[in-house]
Structure formats: structure tokens, C-alpha cells
Structure 1
């Protein structure tokens, strides 16, 4: 039986963190240490089947800049399900937990999706950001055109309505970090 457990990075023991890291490295061929670091410092949803970790996802706080506002954003990282457990509802259970956290704590949810994963997020109510993307770098705001069309958002705050509504055709800029900006 699959059980999803949510915990902050600080509350996970070394064995759970190692299992999560190992799972991500097994699932993603191009996983880097910077990618792993992006998953740390926030809330993790861990799917366990007994003592075996079969799925992981994390939501961390980031600031996204849009329309002159810095939005408190729950940014989804490290969504992975062990190959032999895919298409069994594990990713949906992980995302349900992260979406609960996002709805309770953030103005906006955001994530970068692969072509393969995009339909899954759309089916859950996430929408593709159609406008240009950028990053707030040490040298100022720089465009990230390779990310255009790959960023998905989940609007959850009433603060993003009316004159402050998010315009998905407008520019969206993420805060700076090592490795991939998005």
C-alpha cells in the first residue's frame, strides 16, 4: 500500500534524504548536484510502499516577478516516480499533497515541465505560461527563451485577480540560483 508523507527538509532523516536523492538520480539521466539542491529547503512529498521510496516531489519557496510584483511562489521540483510504479496514481498523490501546500501558503504555484509531463500538469489545472520567461541574474533581468512554453502555473491567491491578475502572456522572471534558473 502506498503512503504519501509530507515533511520539511529539516525534518527528514539522512536515510530518507539519501533515498530521495538516489531515486531522482535513477529517474533522470541528466540529474546534477544543483538539481538536487533545488529540491532542498522546502516541503517534500514522499511516496512509500513499505520501506521502499517509490516517489518524490518537493515544493520550495521562490520569488517570481510579474507585472512589477514579486510573487511568493511555491515552486515544484524533483517530481519522480520509480519506473515500475508509474501510471498507478503515485504522481497524482504526490502532486495533490504539494498543491495542498501551495494553496495554503503561496500566491502562485509554478514548475518547469518536460514535454512528456506537460499533459499531466494540465490535467491537474496547471496552465502553460505563454509569455516570455526570464531570470533575475546578478547582471540584471536576462531572458531565458529556452524555457518559453515549458513553465506552468497554478494561480491560487485572490491577490492575483482584478487589476493584479496574472497575465500569462506577460513576462515572468524567476529569482537567481545556481544551475538551471527554472
Structure 2
């Protein structure tokens, strides 16, 4: 779909987790957003860490093959109070960053507060507020899991930042192509 001659972009948002990684795919065309798909990749808790990371890797590759996003965005995770849990989450996040990067996609990274600010308007919004705003911004989306809502919020944040970058680049190109007036 094209609006105003601007090509649409498919953005895959990812909310990393070892147990559950949320994903959400939107189409962005300027300020117009459309929900395409979402879900959660869950790993088997009683498997060794390496096998769980492999499950995550394979599932994310399947999502990329199936939905063919143009860009990806990942939420930056915070350090957990439990060092072992933080390390495992970091390893899962590494897989989540690696898969789209290996597919040649631009991968944006956003802090949780930045995502909440882009979607709700305040960096201190709670999960319910984020989910409600994601549903408002993506009419018709049926979101079954909080992890998927979070991933869609990351995709929306990336789309907003992307639109700003495109507008700034367009203005810079205009300034360069216009002759200076004396």
C-alpha cells in the first residue's frame, strides 16, 4: 500500500525473553500504521540453555521467512536483580538481535521508557496502558499476549522514529538541492 507516494515499510518489533519472546509485525506508511501479525515464541523450560536458544533462533528465522519484514526493532532489556537470569536474558536478546541482522535487516534498539513514550506519551506508563494504546493505534488487532503487545509497541516506536528520520533526510536533501539565494 502507498499513501502520498511514500513506500510502505514492514517493521518487525521484538520483545526479547528466554521463556517468551514477543513479536509483532506492522506496516508503516508515513503516519499510517497497520497491524499485520503478532505472536509469541516460547521455549521449553526444561531443556538446556543451548537448545532453548536454538528453538528461539529457528522460530525467529521462520517468522522472518514467512512475513518478510523490511526492518526490525528490539527492546533494550534491563539488568535483572538475579545475575543468572540477567545473563540468560542477555543471551536470548543476542539471538533476537542476531537473526534479523543476519537476514540483512536494519535493527533498531529502544529503551523501554522510549517505547512507552512513543506509544503512550509518557515513559512511566504501565503494561495495561501500553496494550490499550497499541490496540488504539492498530485498529482491529486482536492481541492475546502482553509479550506480543510489547513487541508491537516496539515496532510502533521504530516506525515513529523512522518517519522522523525520513522527514529530516528529505528536508536536508531539499536544502542541498535548492540553490542559495543572494
Q: What is the TM-score normalised by the length of structure 1?
A: 0.35
Comparing both structures, which one devotes a greater share of its residues to helix?
2
Bigger-Rg structure (1/2):
2
The structure with higher relative contact order (CA 8 Å, sep 6+) is: 2
